[in-house]
Amino acid sequence: MSFRSVFIAVTIAFALILGAFLINRARPKVEVEQPTSDFVLASGKCAECHARMQYSVVHEYEMSVHAKKGVNCLDCHQPSTGQKKVDHHGFVISAHLTAGNCRSCHEGIYQEFLHSRHAAPSWAAIYGEKGLSPEQVSFSEQFQPGGTRRPPSPLALPEGHPAVAAGCEQCHSIGKPNEDGTIGTCTECHSRHTSSVALARLPSTCAQCHMGPDHSQIEIYNESKHGVMFAAQRQLLKLDANPKTLTTRDMFVPTCATCHMSGINGLKVTHDPSDRLSWYLAAEVSQKRPNYLRAQANMKQVCQQCHTETLVNRVYAHAEEVVASTNAKVSAAKEIVTALHKDGIVTGPPFSNPIDFTYFDMWHYDGRTSKHGAFMGGADFVQWHGNYGLLEKTVELQHEADALRREHAARR
């Protein structure tokens, strides 16, 4: 054989190998690494079409732990119990995915989620029992007494359906009852295709909903030492560390998830963020939760992975004083408003008189922020967004009440 033909043969062989490599590299990673025929059939076919149309979807999936573990497109997209089937380019897929498509592999987590206020109580906060089955209501009531068996929000009616659907529901649908009989969605915190714990551990993920004057958790966090440290050291944290072996070496600065959900240094992950809460802080007048002692011990155990008991007990002692004083201020205002109703001076449905708003803003904005701020390191929220407003509205409310009584007396 001449040198020339050997050279051509080698060049062609190299070109073929390079070509194959380039083509292979362009294929989804799962397809390359796990070339079983079933897998290619499901992931490969779906990915082949969809990478052309929605590259982002396939790319997000390719980066996920699911792709690495061989969970394919169809594993999630196949119809689960009670779901409407749709013929789709040679496959049968579900018309709409819910938590039901995750529970098949994560049943334990789904059950924990069901116990939480992120499930049925979130929905009931707007619509009451409407849309929930009697079984769903009694199930949830076992874990969150009064969370589901209650009337719809009095605000929903005067604000009207468009506001509720595009407003309240966007956040509270985390616990929406689905047509297949399941509740809620897992993708608010994990997204549809990354299925990422790193995403769920970011404060901005919780802040999609936990923000604004009525529950300023992200604002409080951002001004707390924890938030400041997070911003400074974010790139040093192992946000994607495996939840089963997560330690304070991976996450040495806490995010929302660390305190409310993570299992750190051997503690267990929980999908019920009430597990570590001892007070009903969002309430008008805050009461202790039924599991007060256990919940407080659970949270303190988390703090103590990074702090001494003395520091933690000091924070709790201050915060509980703020709860007591906020309760006293709100209760006094509530008495004024209740008396106006009882004496027939303020009549009509809720939110039909200016004084309804003064009182509502007082506990719903100022009262809540002062309590939340005290537990989560937000001094400005205890003071200027909290107690200053409580004082201002106490004075305002008393003036409005006096004026209403004078007007009422003059009319008689």
Q: By CB under 6 A, what part of segment 249-288 binds ligand HEC?
A: 251-263, 269, 271, 273-274, 277-282
- Across 57-151, the runs of DSSP E, i.e. the strands, are 85-88, 91-94
Residue 130: both structure tokens together: 């409407």
Q: How far apart are CA 334 and CA 268, in angstroms?
A: 40
Nearer to ligand HEC by Cβ, of 109 and 345: the residue is 109
- Contact with ligand HEC (CB under 6 A) among 200, 330, 333, 346: 200
Query: DSSP characters for 157-183?
Result: HHH-HHHHHHTHHHHHGGGPBPTTS-B
Residues in region 152-191 near ligand HEC by CB under 6 A: 153, 155-156, 159, 164, 167-168, 171-172, 174, 186-190
Handedness of CA 360, 365, 369, 370 (dihedral sign): negative
Minimum Å distance from CB 405 to ligand HEC? 30
Residues in region 211-250 near ligand HEC by CB under 6 A: 212, 215, 217-218, 221, 225-226, 229, 240, 242-244, 246, 248
Minimum Å distance from CB 24 to ligand HEC? 17
Give the alpha-carbon dihedral of 239, 245, 249, 254, to 10 degrees.
50
C-alpha neighbours within 13 Å on the C-beta side of residue 5: 2
**Chain-centroid distance, C-alpha 50:** 29
The 10 Å CB-count burial string (b at 16+, else e) for 40-53 is bebbbbbbeeebee
Residues in region 312-331 near ligand HEC by CB under 6 A: 312, 315
Check binding of 29 to ligand HEC (CB under 6 A). Answer: no
Contact of 126 with 156, CB cutoff 8 Å: yes
Residues in region 93-122 near ligand HEC by CB under 6 A: 93, 96-97, 99, 101-102, 104-106, 109-110, 113, 117-118, 121-122
Check binding of 385 to ligand HEC (CB under 6 A). Answer: no
Segment lying near ligand HEC (by CB under 6 A), choices 129-137, 209-217, 335-343, 401-409: 209-217
How many residues of this chain bind ligand HEC (CB under 6 A)? 121
Minimum Å distance from CB 38 to ligand HEC? 12
Check binding of 140 to ligand HEC (CB under 6 A). Answer: no
Check binding of 382 to ligand HEC (CB under 6 A). Answer: no
List phi, psi (to 5°) of 165: -70, -45
Handedness of CA 173, 177, 181, 183 (dihedral sign): positive
Nearer to ligand HEC by Cβ, of 12 and 324: the residue is 324
Segment lying near ligand HEC (by CB under 6 A), choices 196-204, 331-339, 353-361, 383-391: 196-204
Burial of 214 (0-12, 13-18, 19+ CB in 10 A): middle
Q: How far apart are CA 203 and CA 351, in angstroms?
A: 33
Minimum Å distance from CB 397 to ligand HEC? 21
For residue 142, give Cα distances in angstroms to 3, 136, 137, 190, 207. Answer: 84, 10, 9, 27, 28
Segment lying near ligand HEC (by CB under 6 A), choices 200-208, 326-334, 343-351, 396-404: 200-208
- Contact with ligand HEC (CB under 6 A) among 83, 136, 140, 296: 296
Segment lying near ligand HEC (by CB under 6 A), choices 5-13, 14-22, 306-314, 324-332: 306-314
Contact of 344 with 259, CB cutoff 8 Å: no
Minimum Å distance from CB 298 to ligand HEC? 9
Nearer to ligand HEC by Cβ, of 192 and 406: the residue is 192
Contact of 267 with 244, CB cutoff 8 Å: no
Residues in region 58-87 near ligand HEC by CB under 6 A: 58, 61, 65-66, 69, 71, 73-77
